[in-house]
Amino acid sequence: MIALLIRDLRLSVRAGGGFGLGLAFFLIVTVLVPFGVGPEEAILAPIAPGILWVGALLACLLSLDRIFQLDYEDGSLDLLATAPLPMEGAVVMKAVAHWLTTGLPLVLAAPVFGALLNMPPEGFLWIMGSLALGTPALSMIGAFGAALTVGLKRGGLLLSLLVLPLYIPTLIFGAEAASRGMAGFEAGTPMLMVAGITLGSLALLPFAAAAALRINLR
């Protein structure tokens, strides 16, 4: 399992893949929003957590098709399927690798981008916390979506149509936790809900994703 994780990490760093790309995309989204809604602090600051969350979600979506597609094309997914490691374990490791290369950089960069959006410093910890708790769920749900569409030639658009509705609960609770925390309200409940979604997805979705992969490899 660890070997698989290291292999995936190495591939994504060396192959010029999603590692920096997701972060750059996140930056562009963050920069574009003030151009769209105007530079006033009074407008930007309250919507900053929401923008950061939507940006993180889109950046995450961008790199999803890489999770299984390349391995499917060059046949290493078939090898993984016949390996002693259960498919579910492989799926989890793939999702973890995706999170380490996409989700974690977003979490770490969030305060910087928050500052770009005039976010008050009290909010930095909250946005980092909610993203840290929520982005693993995004990677896991995304891995499920990627497993569903792995056999398709042009699965990219379909993948976003399938995955985005599944992201809605995570987005709602995550953005709510960040903006409540920033405004100084009690944010424990949405924070717990985000954590719950992440843990629930990690516990259950590997089975669904592995089932989808097995169907696609048949």
131-134 own/partner pairs: CB under 8 Å, 24+ apart: 131/52, 131/53, 131/56, 131/103, 131/106, 131/107, 131/174, 131/178, 132/107, 133/174, 133/191, 133/194, 133/195, 133/198, 134/53, 134/170, 134/173, 134/174, 134/194, 134/197, 134/198
* Nearer to other proteins (CB atom), residue 105 or residue 142: 142
Specify whether the CB–CB gap between 101 and 13 falls below 8 A: yes
Of 103-142, binders to other proteins (CB under 8 A) are none
What's CA 208's distance to the chain center, in Å?
18
Give the binding range for other proteins (CB under 8 A) out of 25-33, 42-50, 111-119, 162-170: 162-170
Q: Does 149 bind other proteins (CB under 8 A)?
A: yes
Count of residues that interact with other proteins, criterion CB under 8 A: 29
Question: To which residue do tokens 């259950």 refer?
Answer: 204
For the window 172-211, what string marks contact with other proteins as x by the rule CB under 8 A? Answer: xx--x------------xx--x---x------xx--x--x
CB of 108 to other proteins, least distance (A): 26
CB of 47 to other proteins, least distance (A): 15
Binding interface with other proteins (CB under 8 A) = 144, 148-149, 151-152, 155, 158, 161-162, 164-166, 168-169, 172-173, 176, 189-190, 193, 197, 204-205, 208, 211-212, 215-216, 218
